[in-house]
Amino acid sequence: MKTDDELKQIALDLYHGLIFSTGHIENPEDAPRVFMPFSLMDGDSINEFKKQDPGLVYEYLEKAAPRSINGLPIFFSFQFLTIDETKKMEQIYKKIVQAVDTALES
């Protein structure tokens, strides 16, 4: 379970464009092509992963492979947030966006 500080950092890094996530992928079939470990998982591994209640799969762009597929980065690793962590992080992200928008309006 991620701490509030970790979720805040993820939200900030997402805002600054340092993270690529499943939220950036328009076609769900591209997810295993982007996050390569998924294409290497067998059925049992995928079921075990699903038991962990994943909400958002992500990785830092600095860890992307030197190649891409259909304009999308490729990763040989990934991190994830549970559904509850994702909801918390999204709330923090929205606050960051609102704070920046308010600052720009001044």
Do residues 54 and 82 make contact, with C-beta atoms less than 8 angstroms apart?
Answer: yes
Burial class (CB in 10 A: 0-12, 13-18, 19+), 71: exposed
Confidence (pLDDT) at 5: 97
Q: What domain range includes position 68?
A: 4-105
Does the structure show a pLDDT above 80 at 106?
no
Confidence (pLDDT) at 105: 87
Summarised one tens digit per residue, pLDDT across range 17-31 is 999 999 999 998 999
Helix ranges, the chain (H): 4-15, 31-34, 37-40, 43-51, 83-105
User: CA dihedral in degrees (44, 47, 49, 55; nearest 10)?
Assistant: 160
Confidence (pLDDT) at 59: 98
Domain count, the chain: 1
Summarised one tens digit per residue, pLDDT across range 30-85 is 999 999 999 999 999 999 999 999 999 999 999 999 999 989 999 999 999 999 99
Tokens of 13: 């890094």
Question: What whole-number distance in Å separates Cα of residue 37 and Cα of residue 14?
Answer: 21
Confidence (pLDDT) at 97: 96
